[in-house]
Structure 1
């Protein structure tokens, strides 16, 4: 372990963004140390035994549509370091009467299953899928810059405005296609319809038919381990059980990157930030929350629609109107009696997740911020509605309320896993309106959490962009370091 005097950079927080920042700095030749408050690294991308021995559950995110699309993970060569298994079915959606909508990786196959609405699905999503590289670039850079792909931006924007307005049903005649699409919109934990939710959902839906929605074999923790292994291989250090409550507690270093929320930055700085900047950060809004339940199962979930037994990801909430009603109840500060449930059954693809013949189910629903209500019964009842007999498969469960989500990970303010409300204004002001929102007024201090651009998701881009900014401003290193597997550090330039 290096001495404190030998440190060039410090990263506080070991979530995907913190580790992405640390890896980028270490690859540039800096001597880096990461501090993590919990005993386990990974933040919202860890994997652990939460129910019974041998059942491995994802603590936070479980499915990773952005892992293949992320510029950082492409440069890092994530798919060459771990196994990301892309399923035939990206996501499924149970409907009343044993029916279901299925978003196959193949968009043509998806459209064929949507009957009269198949052509509308192709017209809506086809151009986005065909231009997925440009879409990934646009959605991965919400800054105020001249877009490189103005035509793609226009197509995307018009679709988001349409699907984010009361006219969102005009192109559809049935209920399956709009329900299937709305399941992706509801990831944003906000009122429906809205342009911000539609924009996020259309992006996810396009990725479903492009690179797919991969499952990391071994759990989301495999992503974290690959980042940590690379950091350690390039001279970095990680200290766990290290709860940093003030910047003054940190040893000297030229660069400090904080994988924390704007609220935590104000607390850590303890009055050192300029008043105007502090006021701007205080206006950053946090959204509503999730309550999560992990299940250990004796057998696969007995979905009434058999094709859903092959779908690793499911949106459980009924019709488009049902989902909008549930999400709008939460947006109004109420718990929904028939909630939208986001579920993942990774063990149908990954037999490392549970003992032979057994399975895990990951599920969360949306609740008002800081809710203390256990949602095990509500989630169980909603799944049972579309999978009769589900209760009988449950061996054990582990629940986290929204308040407990916050206690485990302070970046999830009140249980807000996006680390900041997803709204049109906060796609640009994340957390400030700036061409370099990661750089703070404090010398050498940068913010690198999901509260910064481009926002939430396991993509590492917030950390990567913050690290590039720090390298440019503090070390005059303009060229991004090579992150590819097996590439050794060249050492810090004098």
Structure 2
């Protein structure tokens, strides 16, 4: 077998980002994907109708609009349209007006009434230093931040919103639940410092670069990255399930877009016992169970304004979400989990057909939960959208336990590839100076199980690739990721 500079196992957003970066530095890169198609958490496909596109995993992409990797990669210049609904996200409430996070901060503050000033005081300073805030949180957490103001803006807000103080920071349930619903994206105990950071990161972006939906589906992001890789000499092999590092002995460096569990499976006895024990202490968090619906009409929300939002959080009041997410983190299943709903046609009307619309939903459930989530999620939506059941043409669910079979990185259905606790957000997958290196020479981990963690931002792969370039090749200047060519279809065998 011919020699290659770097082999990347896994074509999720981090594996693709690592390969883009290495190929841009002039290395010959090969990617190996066990599935029949690329993308990992970025896959999209028709499920019930050949002309209706559903996102299989991630659907809404605030990080693809904001992260350093994607800012430099420039999706728009590559023909990937990130479409913005007028309302970034909404939070319906029983018997009351919903909380609405408009893309426009002024409109949001006006909607929140007497909490408008407090919302502005929370978000506006972060928006003024948004790139610095994003780069601080989406970093390897090992260096001095570029924007020295960002940590001073972020720290007191995270401490307030990530602690019991959060109960009294807003006076209306609309404002309290609106931000707590964003904190729930951390998929763990509430309140917590890690969830507070997530709330402030995603919360302020809702009024900045937004919570966009890619035209045509999330797969378009993966396709753009694959096009760049092959345009720079890279090769992508699908249907190639790598089970042993010996299969990659032709590669000078190996990067694994896998969970620590996957690393141990592939590296096996080559890893030192002490390191395996450290990885065994890596804690996987609560899970997601997925439901896809094909519906005949827009979701009939009791508050019609919710229908203008791309993302909807179904969790009830702040107190209810604190209780529910904490029970979930303890492994206690309930009949009313926190549910995220996305109606992609609010921003991308071409995603469906007249009388046929895709609806995407995640329910937060305990790790390894085996329940079919369809009825649980349908009931949660029906509570806030009476008549939704009558619009359903087709439906299918995948339990948390089954999600790991679909994507081995989702251990027990943990789509974050590791619990988002404060310590584990920084020290994932194990405490060490360079979190991407393994004890094996020229073998690196580049998945969401490394900093900065989950979401479609590409930064774990990007930072792992920079570590390879620095340590193996002495390259300390990051390669340009900007488009320099006319994109062509990727060559994938």
Which residue is 1:399 aligned to? 397
2:57 is aligned to 60
Among 5, 8, 11, the residue aligned to 1:11: 8
Query: Matched residue pairs, number?
Result: 486
Q: Deviations over 1:227-281 (max 9, x none)?
A: 1111111111111111111101224111111000112112211111223322222
1:94-146: per-residue Cα shift (whole Å, max 9, x none)?
A: 11125211000111110110111111111122211221111011101152333
Distance 1:482 1:149, change over 3 A: closer
Aligned to 2:311: 313
Question: 1: distance between equivalents of 2:173 and 2:314?
Answer: 14
Distance 2:276 2:375 in 1: 41
Instruction: Write the distance in 1 (CA, Å) between the matches of 2:71 and 2:485.
Output: 14
Q: 1:36 aligns with which of 33, 36, 47?
A: 33
Alpha-carbon spacing, 1:147–1:478, altered in 2? closer, same or farther (3 Å): closer
Q: CA deviation at 1:325?
A: 2.1
CA distance in 2, matches of 1:148, 1:243: 39
2:72 maps to which residue? 75
Any gaps of 5 or more consecutive residues in structure 1?
Answer: 489-494
Q: Structure 1 residues 16 and 175, CA, compared in 2 at 3 Å: closer, same or farther? A: same
Confirm whether residue 164 of structure 1 aligns to residue 166 of structure 2. Answer: no
SS for the counterpart of 2:291 is strand
Displacement after TM superposition at 1:15 (Å): 0.3
- Give the C-alpha shift of residue 188 in structure 1: 0.9
Structure 1 residue 72, shift from structure 2 partner: 0.8
Alignment map for 1:343-354 (pairs within 5 Å): 343-354=341-352
Structure 2 CA distance for partners of 1:481 and 1:146, relative to 1, 3 Å: closer
Consecutive unaligned residues in structure 2, runs of 5 or more: 487-493
Question: What is residue 369 of structure 2 aligned with on the other side?
Answer: 371
**Cα distance, 1:7 vs structure 2:** 1.3
1:46 aligns with 2:43: yes
Query: 3-state DSSP class of the match of 1:18?
Result: helix
**Equivalent position of 1:492 in the other structure:** none
- CA distance, structure 1, for counterparts of residue 88 and residue 277 of structure 2: 42
Residue 298 of structure 1 is aligned with which of 296, 299, 310?
Answer: 296
Identify the range of structure 1 (425-434 vs 59-68) with the bigger mean alpha-carbon deviation: 425-434
- Could you list the per-position Cα deviations for residues 34-65 of structure 1 after superposition, in whole angstroms to 9, with x for gaps in the alignment? 10011111111110112333221111110001
Aligned-partner Cα distance in 1 for 2:146–2:469: 24
Q: How does 1:102-251 map to 2 (within 5 A)?
A: 102-251=100-249
Distance 1:353 1:391 in 2: 21
Secondary structure of 1:464 counterpart: helix
Provide the C-alpha distance between the structure 2 equivalents of 1:165 and 1:485, rounded to a whole number of angstroms. 43
d(CA) in 1 for partners of 2:148, 2:277: 34
Q: Distance in 1 between matches of 2:208 and 2:122?
A: 14
SS of the residue corresponding to residue 64 of structure 2 reads: coil
Alignment partner of 1:279 is 2:254: no
Structure 1 outlier segments of 4+, above 4 Å? none
Tell me the SS of whatever aligns to 1:169.
helix
Aligned to 2:455: 457
* d(CA) in 2 for partners of 1:76, 1:432: 29
Name the SS for the 1:8 alignment partner: strand
Residue aligned with 2:294, SS: strand
- Identify which range, 154-163 or 287-296, moves more after superposition: 154-163
Deviates more, 1:392-401 or 1:139-148: 139-148
Residues 42, 219 of structure 2: 8 Å contact kept:
yes
Work out whether residues 91 and 312 of structure 2, in 8 Å CA contact, stay in contact via their aligned partners in 1. Answer: yes
Query: CA separation in 2, counterparts of 1:473 and 1:117?
Result: 50
* Secondary structure of residue in 2 paired with 1:9: strand
Match of 1:491 in 2: none
Judge conservation of contact 1:291–1:401 (CA < 8 Å) in 2: yes
| Separation (CA, whole Å) in 2 of partners of 1:314 and 1:399 | 19
Contact 1:142 1:427 (C-alpha < 8 Å) held by counterparts: no
1:348/1:359 contact within 8 Å kept: no
Which residue is equivalent to 2:21?
24
Of the structure 1 ranges 360-369 and 242-251, higher mean CA displacement relative to structure 2 is found in 242-251
2:485 & 2:217 partners in 1: Cα distance? 25
Deviates more, 1:57-66 or 1:250-259: 250-259
Residues 98 and 304 in structure 1, CA contact (< 8 A), matched pair in contact too: no
Q: Tell me the SS of whatever aligns to 1:417.
A: coil
Measure how far apart 1:481 and its partner are: 1.6
